[in-house]
Amino acid sequence: MKIYLDFEPCDQCKTIMSELSDEKMMFADEKTRTDESAKFLRHLTYNHSEVVQAVLKDLPKQKRNQEFDFFK
Ligand SMILES: [Zn+2]
């Protein structure tokens, strides 16, 4: 499932996102990748709470749409 985030990433966001998409991260072990994702989520929670709110609001809606498609 893809979630589209409509927000302005700050400098720290951009740093973390480029770290996450860096080649060395692709080959890092699972713990390192999990730590890095957790760091990004923590940053979003504390600095961009509106993003977290939007994701939480969107999730049930997307799920309903999927179920609707499934039963058609
Ligand atoms: Zn940020």
The model's pLDDT over 23-58, given as tens digits with 9 standing for 90+, comes to 999 899 999 999 999 999 899 999 998 888 887 787
Output the pLDDT for position 58. Answer: 73
Q: Is residue 3 part of a domain?
A: no
Distance 31 CA to ligand 1 centre (A): 22
Question: Could you list the residue range(s) of the whole structural domain that residue 35 is in?
Answer: 11-71
Q: Are 1 and 18 in contact (CB under 8 A)?
A: no
Phi, psi of 70 (to 5 degrees): -65, -40
Within-domain flag for 1: no
* Structural domain includes residue 48: yes
Residue 1 has pLDDT above 50, yes or no: no
28 φ, ψ (degrees, to nearest 5): -75, 160
- Dist. CA 20 → ligand 1 center (Å): 14
* Structure-block tokens of residue 28: 């890092």
Report if residue 60 sits inside a domain: yes
Residue 4 lies in a domain: no
The rounded mean pLDDT for the chain is 82
Q: For residue 6, is it within any domain?
A: no
Tens-digit pLDDT profile for residues 4-26? 666 788 999 999 999 999 999 98
Tell me, in angstroms, the distance from the centre of ligand 1 to residue 72's CA: 40
**pLDDT at residue number 16:** 93
What's the total number of domains in the chain? 1
67 is a domain residue: yes
